[in-house]
């Protein structure tokens, strides 16, 4: 349907052509005392519908007009009479297939539905105009991501989902265990292990009668990854510029509109490069994605502007063309203090040097103070991960966050600590064990290289682009505390 209705002439020039289309009826009505029906059909390829006209001689119209019905039809494209909105319509000659809907039971009626209502019907969400537009924008941003990094010579590396390393050292990992039939578990647990050791009481008996404490499949405890960074660094330290793009998992108990337990992250890692190169890459990448959407997804962006956030297209244009502000963490704190003392701005979390900036602070900087993206760099080392390079002042690390209007933190990155002694001290200082990171330390022991990278929260980018308010509506199958449907 996109190839018909999204043409500059709205499809008018295709009149006379015979086509076959398949789609779902958005709305339908019988006309002329039931002698024919008008259907608005959408196949998810674009926001616009194709008007389809069916004669009572070729189909049971009462069935066809129900919202949600699937139709596969063949016919001739025609120019509708003067004065109608459409530039082209399809006169059906043959109905190939119909998938009917009982309107009394269909959970997605044609009335406007709230996004919350749709979250409870996750398998039907993609049939709505909104969720399908978001899906196309998401798809376009994924394509833009690969295009940007491929065109700049980055190698796409697939990092593992199951890992034994905690990249952020924050202990927010989901543990991986094996599944055993519950009835068998209870039975065998009683027979084979009447007295499970108390600290391992969660252990599960396996078919061979041994107890599975969730460790022995891999021979050690394994987790879902919080970031592919550490693994992708092994490639950056061997084949130079690389990126990974995949699902990541965080067991943080966040109930905000900007956190998911499963989200996708784009993580480039640049060899022979420092923090400034990192910021330049991040800025160029975000700008590239904005241009891409304006170029390739304008119809979906117009839908979002009309229905959700009338400023979303202007925001893309602004970000695509405006240099990002760059300020140090210390300057950011000073600006926030000025806002509190001189402008009477009230923040829930008190501002002082050393705090982790909260979303309210980030949004003040990017939405009120600068009204454009802001890169904050050189954060206090106490609030940042062990792998970030310690600056000469010994108090800050070469970290950077990209903050954007609407979202706050979109990107987190840093120059990596390449000096073996300093990084070892940092791991110990943060109370982490050295052993699991020995392989990572080897990258510094042998042929160490100055390098840097960042992670872009893919769903945050979609929030920023579309103007949607809740991150749960921009990922097909959202996972968050209390919820994992399908
Ligand atoms: O700032 P973060 O935690 O950085 C890292 O994970 C680094 N290892 C990345 C790197 O340098 N390669 O996460 C990066 C980004 C954040 O800026 C945010 O956009 C997103 O990931 N993010 C989340 N998005 C959705 N739900 C969550 N729970 C998120 N946590 C982080
Ligand atoms: Mg961060």
Ligand 1 pocket check: which of 254, 357, 457 to mutate, most ligand atoms within 8 Å of Cβ? 457
Mean pLDDT of 50-58: 96
Closest ligand relative to 455 C-alpha: 1
Residue 201's pLDDT is: 45
Question: What are the residue boundaries of the structural domains of the chain, listed by start?
Answer: 2-99, 130-154+267-481, 182-212
Q: Is 457 in the pocket of ligand 1 (CB under 6 A)?
A: yes
From the number of C-beta atoms within 10 Å of its C-beta (0-12, 13-18, 19+), residue 151 rates as: exposed
* Positive/negative CA dihedral, 140, 144, 150, 154: negative
Q: What's this model's pTM, rounded to 2 decimal places?
A: 0.93
- Nearest protein Cα to ligand 1, atom 7: 455
Residue 476 CA to ligand 1 center (angstroms) comes to 19
CA distance 179 to 196: 19
180 CB-near residues (< 8 Å, 6+ apart): 204, 205, 206, 207, 212
Atom of ligand 1 lying closest to residue 265 CA: 21
Q: Is 454 in the pocket of ligand 1 (CB under 6 A)?
A: yes
Residue 83's pLDDT is: 83
Cβ-contact 410, 459 below 8 angstroms: no
Among all chains, which residue has been given the structure tokens 């600590």? 417
Q: Is 460 in the pocket of ligand 1 (CB under 6 A)?
A: yes
pLDDT exceeds cutoff 90 at 238 = yes
What ipTM was reported for this prediction?
Answer: 0.99
Asked if the domains at 2-99 and 130-154+267-481 fall in one CATH topology, the answer is no
Q: Is 229 in the pocket of ligand 1 (CB under 6 A)?
A: yes
pLDDT exceeds cutoff 50 at 271 = yes
pLDDT exceeds cutoff 90 at 190 = no
Name the superfamily (CATH) of residues 2-99: Nucleic acid-binding proteins (2.40.50.140)
pLDDT exceeds cutoff 80 at 208 = no
Residue 199's pLDDT is: 47
Residue 454 CA to ligand 2 center (angstroms) comes to 9
- Nearest protein Cα to ligand 1, atom 9: 455
pLDDT, tens digit (0-9, with 9 covering 90-100), for 437-484:
999 999 999 999 999 999 999 999 999 999 999 999 999 999 999 999
Residue 215's pLDDT is: 47
- Nearest protein Cα to ligand 1, atom 15: 457
Q: What mean pLDDT is reported for the chain? A: 93
- Nearest protein Cα to ligand 1, atom 5: 455
Name the superfamily (CATH) of residues 130-154+267-481: Bira Bifunctional Protein; Domain 2 (3.30.930.10)
Residues for the chain: how many in total?
486
β-bridge mates for residue 92, sequence order: 75
Mean pLDDT of 376-405: 97
Q: Is 228 in the pocket of ligand 1 (CB under 6 A)?
A: no
pLDDT, tens digit (0-9, with 9 covering 90-100), for 288-332:
999 999 999 999 999 999 999 999 999 999 999 999 999 999 999
- Nearest protein Cα to ligand 1, atom 28: 259
Residue 183's pLDDT is: 57
Residue 454 CA to ligand 1 center (angstroms) comes to 9
Cβ-contact 403, 374 below 8 angstroms: yes
- Nearest protein Cα to ligand 1, atom 27: 259
C-alpha closest to that of 151 among 234, 268, 263: 268
Q: Is 227 in the pocket of ligand 1 (CB under 6 A)?
A: yes
Q: Is 475 in the pocket of ligand 1 (CB under 6 A)?
A: no
What are the C-alpha distances in Å from 164 to residues 135, 169, 281, 427? 32, 12, 29, 16
- Nearest protein Cα to ligand 1, atom 22: 457
**What 3-state class would DSSP assign to 453?**
strand
pLDDT exceeds cutoff 90 at 168 = no
Mean pLDDT of 389-411: 97
pLDDT, tens digit (0-9, with 9 covering 90-100), for 86-135:
899 999 999 999 999 999 999 888 788 999 999 999 999 999 999 999 99
């Amino acid at each position: 349907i996109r190839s018909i209705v999204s043409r500059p002439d709205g499809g008018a020039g295709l009149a006379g052509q015979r086509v076959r289309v398949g789609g779902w009826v958005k709305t339908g009505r019988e006309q002329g005392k039931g002698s024919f029906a008008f259907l608005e059909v959408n196949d998810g390829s674009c926001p616009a519908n194709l008007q389809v006209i069916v004669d009572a001689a070729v189909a049971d119209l009462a069935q066809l007009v129900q919202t949600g019905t699937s139709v596969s039809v063949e016919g001739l494209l025609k120019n509708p009479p003067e004065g109608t909105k459409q530039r082209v319509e399809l006169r059906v000659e043959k109905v190939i297939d119909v998938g009917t809907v009982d309107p009394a039971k269909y959970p997605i009626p044609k009335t406007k539905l709230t996004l919350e209502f749709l979250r409870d019907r996750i398998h039907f969400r993609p049939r709505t105009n909104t969720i399908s537009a978001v899906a196309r924008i998401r798809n376009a941003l994924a394509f833009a991501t690969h295009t940007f990094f491929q065109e700049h010579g980055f190698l796409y590396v697939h990092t593992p989902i199951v890992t034994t390393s905690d990249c952020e050292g924050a202990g927010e990992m989901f543990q991986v265990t094996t599944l055993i039939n519950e009835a068998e578990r209870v039975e065998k647990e009683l027979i084979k292990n009447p007295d499970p050791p108390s600290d391992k009481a969660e252990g599960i008996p396996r078919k061979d009668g041994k107890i599975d404490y969730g460790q022995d499949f891999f021979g050690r405890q394994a987790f879902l990854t919080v970031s592919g960074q550490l693994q992708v660094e092994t490639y950056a330290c061997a084949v130079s510029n690389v990126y990974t793009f995949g699902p990541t998992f965080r067991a943080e108990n966040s109930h905000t509109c900007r956190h998911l337990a499963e989200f996708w992250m784009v993580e480039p890692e640049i060899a022979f490069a420092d923090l400034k190169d990192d910021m330049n890459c991040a800025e160029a990448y975000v700008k590239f994605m904005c241009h891409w959407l304006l170029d390739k997804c304008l119809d979906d962006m117009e839908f979002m502007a009309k229905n959700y956030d009338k400023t979303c297209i202007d925001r893309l244009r602004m970000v695509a063309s405006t240099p990002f502000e760059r300020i140090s963490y210390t300057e950011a704190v000073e600006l926030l203090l000025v806002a509190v003392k001189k402008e009477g701005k009230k923040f829930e979390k008190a501002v002082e040097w050393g705090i982790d900036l909260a979303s309210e602070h980030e949004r003040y900087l990017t939405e009120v103070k600068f009204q454009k993206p802001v890169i904050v760099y050189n954060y206090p080392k106490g609030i940042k991960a062990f792998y970030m390079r310690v600056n000469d002042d010994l108090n800050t690390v070469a970290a950077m966050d990209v903050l954007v209007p609407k979202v706050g933190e979109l990107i987190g990155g840093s120059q990596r600590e390449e000096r073996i002694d300093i990084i070892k001290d940092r791991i110990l200082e943060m109370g982490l064990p050295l052993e699991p990171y020995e392989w990572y330390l080897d990258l510094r022991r042998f042929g160490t290289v100055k390098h840097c990278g960042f992670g872009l929260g893919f769903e945050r980018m979609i929030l920023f682009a579309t103007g949607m308010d809740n991150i749960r509506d921009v990922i097909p199958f959202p996972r968050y505390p209390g919820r994992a449907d399908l």
